[in-house]
Amino acid sequence: MKTGEAIQKARYEEMDLVLVVPNANPPVAKIVEFSKFLYEERKKASSAKAKSKKTDVKEFRLGPTTGEGDIQRFVKRAKGFIEDGDKVKITVKMKGREVMFPEVAFDQVKKIEKELTEIAKLESDPKRMGNIISAIFVGK
């Protein structure tokens, strides 16, 4: 229908002519109440927002002397979180004289990285901030 006819029909029905798809050839328009149209658009946007999942960062803290069994427990739980779509942050906190040997803490992170290679990758290389070494893993 031509634009002039559509405007006349909208006026006759005491409604608004709303351009839905302006880039189409020919453009697509609807005859609706504009306030109702806005309400439906907000409702669509809010339902889309509710369905989207926010990614959380789950953190595991350990020390450079944490045992192998505990590391395996962390790895098992981290795999579950990564499969759910979350990021996993591994933090190794050094205390006292442990700070003089940061390579031990980096080795802990490397062990966990080796265990998680099949389902996750490092977001960035492990970083040292004072007495803490941390790395973030994301799903592949």
pLDDT tens profile 53-74 = 777 889 999 999 889 999 999 9
Q: Does the model's pTM come out above 0.85?
A: no
pLDDT in tens, 14-24: 888 888 888 88
The Cα–Cα gap between 128 and 102 comes to 9
72 contact partners, CB below 8 Å, separation of at least 6: 115
The Cα–Cα gap between 43 and 49 comes to 10
In 3D space, the residue among 55, 45, 3 whose CA is nearest the CA of residue 28 turns out to be 3
The Cα–Cα gap between 64 and 93 comes to 7
Tokens of 26: 């020919």
Instruction: Please say whether the dihedral angle defined by the alpha carbons of residues 87, 93, 98 and 100, taken in this order, is positive or negative.
Output: positive
pLDDT in tens, 99-117: 899 999 999 999 999 988 8
Tokens of 135: 């790395």
- Give all domains of the chain, ordered by start, each with its CATH number: 3-51 (3.10.20.80), 57-139 (3.30.110.10)
Tokens of 7: 């405007």
